[in-house]
Chain A
Amino acid sequence: METKTKKRTGPVIFSGYERGTAIEKALNINREDILLEIRESKLRGRGGAGFPTSTKWMLTAAALSDEKFIICNADEGEPGTFKDRVLLIEYPELVFDGMVIAAHTIGAQKGIIYLRGEYEYLLKPLQEYLEGMRKDNFLGKDILGKKGFYFDITVFLGSGAYVCGEETALIESLEGQRGEARNRPPYPVNTGYMGKPTIVNNVETLASIPHIIIKGSEWYKKLGTGKSSGSKLFSVSGDCDKPGVYELPWGTKISELLELVSAKNTKAVQVGGASGFCYNKTQFDKALAYEDAATGGSIMIFNESRDMLRVLNNFMEFFVDESCGQCTPCRIGNVKLLEGVKMIQKGDYTFAYINKLKELGKSMQVASKCGLGQSSPNAFLSILENFNEEIFNRENGGTNEN
């Protein structure tokens, strides 16, 4: 795949990188030092959950096994997220070099990129790119002359289930099972793909690795906040003049981002996609960071013309449909929350019942089996809380058409 001319600019990922340079450097550093470097960088998972990347890597590196796997989670399914697609099209060298470095560090022989079903059109270009890497000895036997270092990457096309972005459901799917989250523990770092130690990292997480290797953790840490180091790609969509993918340091305020993308008359910002939280005007000074307004990158902007109940209805319909259906709180709970939204839309509800649903939402957050059910009530709870007045003071109880 021919790499497109890079027009994007950003502090880390969009800052320019030459294919293979980080691999070359990493192969000459011993593994422990790479792990320490990543730990020092305080890099955390970019998929949304924010688990420290170095911990995952260290646990996998420490696991005793003849076989280990690196999986790149490219199931980008969170509504409003499209940064991984940009990375895969325009910056594949970062992602795949990141995987090779991970393989070297933990001792994996096989890498798999789990590609979102809807990105089927990327399958062939990615395979061609990997073929190019094999030709240039960035993959295959004795990579870049490093004796005994064998690693190869295959692309696996998902089948379109949102839940398969959850790492254990992704692994089940890879194994040919129904896409359903596993019980944790055991964790994939210990018992992952085919029961072997496995790292599952988001596309963006892996794309950050080559830069950290080349420029060092000290440089990386200078960006961002104390708890959220480095930069983040944001997929901005909705009511603004300049939607798209932006790379900004962690800690950027919502209001700063709104200005950057020329959003006007903004009423609400949904941070973190359907599973994230919805903020109103009074909360726009929140910082985009793991410790404040956390996000895997999705930023949806709604202006004054939007009906927040309809927004919520849309999110809840999404979860009712996308719940894998295995655990009770998520499978039935989301249906009940959606029914509640419909009741409010019809004006046929009691506050007592809505309060019951809020309590149900809180139980779902703690009792669901995986992140899907644990985060699906976020939109319900935050929209009812932050747009309380709009939602419960509807004139006709009906929906408007926006």
Chain B
Amino acid sequence: MKKYLTGKMGVPMKTKEISRAPVSQQAHVIQKPEHPEYIGGSITVEINEKKVSVPLGTTILEACRQNQVYVPTLCHHDDLCVAGVCRICVVDVEGMRTLQAACAFPITAPIKIRTSTPMVRKARKHIIDLLLSEHYGECYSCFRNNNCELQALAKEYGVDHYNFGHVEKQRYEIDSSSYSVVRDMDKCILCKRCVRTCIDLQEVGVLEAIDRGYKTHIGTFGDKPLAEVICINCGQCINRCPTGALRANDPRDEIWEAIDNPQKHVVVQTAPSPRAAIGEEFGIEPGHSFTGEMNTALRRIGFDRVFDTNFTADLTIMEEGTELLIRLYKALVKKDTSVVIPQFTSCSPGWVKYLEHFYPEFIPNLSSAKSPQQMFGALIKTYYAKKHNIDPSNIVSVAVMPCSAKKFECNRPEMTSSGFKDVDYGLTTRELAQMIKEAGIYLPEMPKSHFDDPFGDASGAGLIFGATGGVMEAALRTVIELVTGEKVENVFDNMNIMPVRGFEGIKYAELPITKVGPIPKLLVHVVPNWDWLKGATLKIAVAHGTANAKRVMDSIKAGGKFSLCHFIEFMACPGGCIGGGGQPIPTSAEIRRKRAQAIYAEDAALDVRKSHENTHVLKLYEEFLTYGPCGHTAHKLLHTHYTKRGKFIS
């Protein structure tokens, strides 16, 4: 079989057999070298009369970038398969009658490339003119103003008027049916990045081009509203849209209204990933965390309390970890056949909906523990309200998330265990940055401050939830200690559980349990002892991006390697939450890597790095969740159930 070029770091690797994208879009095929100048896997080409050597099969675009020759792109995205449809990257290849798309042309012969001939410049200008002629709306009334690839190109090519007219009337209705993703096809330039994201990167397949010619538009099955199709709300399409055609469903107006209403007690919880990325919205290089600064900014905006979602991430570990131990005990010791393993994590709402649609028969495998966002929501309107004597009906609970699916999650009908809507609004990193700007605040210059009590600052385990493998690492830090009585740092250097870190699409690890300790007080109600775990090997896996999740699920279905796992972490987004659909645009493997680094660095600097050592969590179990993890109160407030949705749309 021909070898296909594999994806970059952080992008699911795939081969022809398992991708749903058309063959032509998957990657370039390296042709058999036939030319005598082919030596040692590289080939010499001329770019603008300069001889350079590149590996065989490199695209013209890559070759140009490697040699500091700039070629504009629009439909191309480093995370995605090739399209070659916008034609903005056309270059002249000597001897060829037509111009060639640099992004789609694999170099297999010693060609001569010119990137800026009169014909090339004219064609590019024409393409920009044509796109602008069909692009409805004005830049200043667009949320992507100053962060739009079409706008940037127009500036680059000095467009100062519409050469071929400009569309005056709206042609499409805005689809805001979904809680998560809003589609405005009037701003679509048909680059098909969203289609490739949905079909090829995520393998969900909600979006595709419909009709042909000038009627071509991106649509769903039967052009149904997004809320009625199998969209999992991951928002990866938003992150890759070059224009303002895709955005998250924005609750800023409602939140401002609540802030400005003196009757309302507005609290905000912030997830780990936004703090590691929000600086990018203020022109800071990726890879810097602004936790303390963001807390101050949130207070200055007018939020009454600022809480750390990591607190409930720690709580999730306690609940989900306990649930896992219960499952294993029931299945392995009690031989209870109604209990299924592996247990799947349930904190990624994109993943949860994906499973509900594509593998509904595996719903029993999903941990019943709510996500940290929803646990927090339930606690704020019960525990916190009672403790501070606030009428929960006056509390407006906002969650700052790196995620578009969180907006859907907080609107799930089952998420009302406090007696109210547990979380009122999911706010993305991008939207929060916008609010901060609206308030006249320059985030990077804010003084630092801590999170509010009674939840306080959380552990590093909660923090690393943001990166792929983070939930697994957090769970292991706790489970290893609670079961073996051994300190994690004695097993893994600096508590860093490296086998589950990194951007490999699917990670797998085995942890032999050679000794067991006494049952901790917190878990005496769960199991009598750990003896049954002695000598066992804990098998775990981590998958990020639904394309990789699909591989794992198919393996489980077929009784393969992953069906023997005990616990599997799934994240809908490539890279985990740091690459979520609510994070700053643009995204790339490099940006995601830097965000993850920022999170791991912050974790390493913390004193408390294990969920079960979070004193606020322990206090909560003493004061409020008195039946312990997975106990009665916890079950009522912190656990949920799921819906079999299936793939078929009526």
Known: A191-B23, A327-B86. A183 touches B98 (CB 8 A): no
CB pair A168–B213 under 8 Å, yes or no, is: no
Known: A178-B209, A186-B31, A322-B213. A359 touches B84 (CB 8 A): no
CB pair B82–A323 under 8 Å, yes or no, is: no
A172, closest chain B residue (CB): B22
Chain B's nearest CB lies how many Å from the CB of A133? 30
Q: How far is the CA of A168 from the CA of B190 in the complex (A)?
A: 20
Known: A325-B214, A369-B101. A183 touches B127 (CB 8 A): no
CB pair B24–A182 under 8 Å, yes or no, is: yes
Q: How far is the CA of A373 from the CA of B106 in the complex (A)?
A: 22
Interface flag for B387 (CB, 8 Å): no
CB pair A374–B98 under 8 Å, yes or no, is: yes
Please choose the segment from A17-25, A250-258, A265-273, A330-338 that sits at the chain B interface, where 4 or more of its residues have CB less than 8 A away: A330-338
Chain A's nearest CB lies how many Å from the CB of B190? 7
**Chain B residues with Cβ under 8 A from A161's Cβ?**
212
Q: How far is the CA of A364 from the CA of B122 in the complex (A)?
A: 10
CB pair A190–B98 under 8 Å, yes or no, is: no
Chain B's nearest CB lies how many Å from the CB of A48? 14
Q: How far is the CA of A151 from the CA of B23 in the complex (A)?
A: 25
Q: How far is the CA of A186 from the CA of B213 in the complex (A)?
A: 25
Q: How far is the CA of A80 from the CA of B90 in the complex (A)?
A: 33
Known: A331-B214, A332-B214. A64 touches B32 (CB 8 A): yes
**Chain B residues with Cβ under 8 A from A177's Cβ?**
22
Interface flag for A367 (CB, 8 Å): yes
Known: A172-B22, A183-B24. A325 touches B190 (CB 8 A): yes
Which of under 10, 10 to 19, 20 to 34, or 35 or more describes the interface residues of A? Answer: 35 or more
Q: How far is the CA of A67 from the CA of B214 in the complex (A)?
A: 38
CB pair A325–B122 under 8 Å, yes or no, is: no
CB pair B213–A320 under 8 Å, yes or no, is: yes
Chain B's nearest CB lies how many Å from the CB of A68? 14
Q: Bits for A348-376, please: 1 = Cβ < 8 Å to B, else 0.
A: 00000000100110111111110000100
CB pair A326–B22 under 8 Å, yes or no, is: no
CB pair A186–B29 under 8 Å, yes or no, is: yes
Which of under 10, 10 to 19, 20 to 34, or 35 or more describes the interface residues of B? Answer: 35 or more
**Chain B residues with Cβ under 8 A from A362's Cβ?**
122
CB pair B192–A360 under 8 Å, yes or no, is: no
Chain B's nearest CB lies how many Å from the CB of A91? 33
**Chain B residues with Cβ under 8 A from A366's Cβ?**
90, 97-99, 119, 123
CB pair A325–B126 under 8 Å, yes or no, is: no
**Chain A residues with Cβ under 8 A from B133's Cβ?**
332, 336
Most buried by B among A186, A320, A335: A186
Chain B's nearest CB lies how many Å from the CB of A122? 24
Scan residues 406-448 of chain B and give those whose CB is less than 8 A from a CB of chain A: none
Chain A's nearest CB lies how many Å from the CB of B220? 15
B134, closest chain A residue (CB): A332
**Chain B residues with Cβ under 8 A from A356's Cβ?**
163-164
A181, closest chain B residue (CB): B24
**Chain A residues with Cβ under 8 A from B83's Cβ?**
326
A195, closest chain B residue (CB): B23
A359, closest chain B residue (CB): B122
**Chain A residues with Cβ under 8 A from B212's Cβ?**
161, 163, 321-325
B24, closest chain A residue (CB): A182
Interface flag for A148 (CB, 8 Å): no
Scan residues 537-564 of chain B and give those whose CB is less than 8 A from a CB of chain A: none
CB pair B22–A182 under 8 Å, yes or no, is: yes
Q: Bits for B76-120, please: 1 = Cβ < 8 Å to A, else 0.
A: 000000111111101000000111010011101000000000010
**Chain A residues with Cβ under 8 A from B215's Cβ?**
325
Chain A's nearest CB lies how many Å from the CB of B36? 16
Chain A's nearest CB lies how many Å from the CB of B112? 16
Most buried by B among A332, A333, A336, A365: A332
**Chain A residues with Cβ under 8 A from B24's Cβ?**
168, 172, 182-183, 191
CB pair A367–B98 under 8 Å, yes or no, is: yes
CB pair B126–A185 under 8 Å, yes or no, is: no
**Chain A residues with Cβ under 8 A from B84's Cβ?**
183, 327, 369
A194, closest chain B residue (CB): B23
Q: Bits for B388-399, please: 1 = Cβ < 8 Å to A, else 0.
A: 000000000000
Q: Besides the contacts A195-B23, A367-B123, what 8 more A-B pairs have beta carbons closer than 8 Å?
A: A185-B105, A324-B212, A324-B213, A325-B190, A327-B84, A328-B130, A363-B119, A368-B98
Q: Which 7 pairs of residues, A with B, have the shortest CB-CB distance?
A: A325-B216, A182-B24, A183-B104, A332-B130, A367-B123, A363-B126, A183-B84
Can you list 5 A-B pairs, Cβ within 8 angstroms, ordered by A?
A185-B105, A324-B212, A328-B130, A332-B131, A356-B164
